A and B are shown apart, each in its own frame.
Chain A
């Protein structure tokens, strides 16, 4: 069974990609930057005590599920979101939804997705993908970060959906059930921007938003003396990975947001957003420079204090720029 008129579209980020494909199938015209912007996907958080394999967690995105939930709410889409206590129930519900001709979005663990190259498969439990059909025991999968559609055996999908650890997906699946048709996007866009400004300027210090960036900067400066050269290198490497790999991270998200601001300028007929878009592009470039410098520091392996101080300073400068950016954006709303 295949849902015939479903179209796969490769995206920069898994959740905005899934949101886009599901809503497009439901008849709503949208782009990935719009989904990301309306969904207020941009974020920053650094939690030194929340360690994964001994390395502190850094996030460049809002928590999983938020973008989809928010875009649906803003655009008047009723959706069904379910989580399950047992894999049997979860897989049965998936089959039922597919039989009812609904493409289904799911949260899953990358570790069990065999279509990824081996080196990518970490226990990362917040990846999103869509099933749009089933043939024999194989599910037809549209994974937004993959170039092409692919397949996954049922037992692997089941493992991916019911992976343990943090955050446990518990078989979470979602799909729109009712839409209001296309409506004016302007209020949704402005509301999405407001929320992002709130997250970046006002979420609890010191861990989140622009304060979180400065906080991480201050910690990086002390990495070599506190952790030793080897561990400091690992911590830095993890920041780059969170920034660049899983879900395209820091710089990629900034470019995605800049693309959103550019589209917003056209839709809301407010040229000020086009200027903001150009500013955000520069901030994204700066994040890329940071990743580049961080990679050099990591490669050096000497744990040279001055290079870590420079890295920290780069982040503190970025924090100032983002604070300024979102303060100005907020004034435009």
Chain B
């Protein structure tokens, strides 16, 4: 790519400027390579925004399911931490099927303080917070 064509499209996600100044290898007008800096490119911004839209949607969906009592708050905080079930299982050190059980409200209510602590520390929140999600009465 020629240095005159380098895009400078800043990335705005969640209303914040998320641009990073990055290095790109470009050619000058006689074809010699040099480096230049750029703040972003619309094509990648779009892909990134789409990824976040889908994440936000999933978090909101899960939040509604927790409020409706279908899932435990662990499901919400898992989505919020951008984890999937296998990743979360590795972090807490339980088998996947066990974590899957813990996503059910009925099972969640019976978790020991120790188990709750384990989840809370993975999500980096206090245990009290783990028992509730935002918007829950």
Contacts and interface: CB of A to CB of B under 8 A. Distances in A.
Contacts of A238: 47, 51
A277 B52 CA distance: 36
Contact of A262 (B32, B50, B87): B32
A244 B47 contact: yes
B20 A117 contact: yes
Interface stretch (B21-29, B100-108, B128-136): B21-29
Contact of B47 (A164, A241, A262): A241
Contacts of B51: 234, 237-238, 241
Interface size class of A (residues with CB under 8 A): 35 or more
Size category of the B interface is 35 or more
Interface in B1-54: 1, 11, 13-14, 16-27, 31-33, 35, 37, 41-44, 46-48, 50-52, 54
Contact of B48 (A11, A241, A284): A241
A145 B21 CA distance: 8
Given A12-B22, A119-B16, A119-B52, 8 more contacts: A145-B22, A164-B91, A237-B51, A238-B47, A244-B44, A245-B44, A262-B32, A284-B1
Interface of A: 10-12, 33, 53-54, 111, 116-120, 122-123, 145-147, 164-165, 168, 233-234, 237-238, 240-241, 244-245, 248, 251-252, 255-256, 258-259, 262-263, 277-278, 281, 284-285, 288, 291-292, 294-295, 298-299
23 contacts: A12-B25, A111-B82, A117-B20, A123-B82, A123-B87, A145-B22, A165-B86, A168-B90, A244-B47, A245-B47, A252-B24, A255-B1, A255-B24, A258-B27, A259-B33, A262-B32, A262-B33, A281-B1, A281-B31, A295-B43, A295-B47, A298-B46, A298-B47
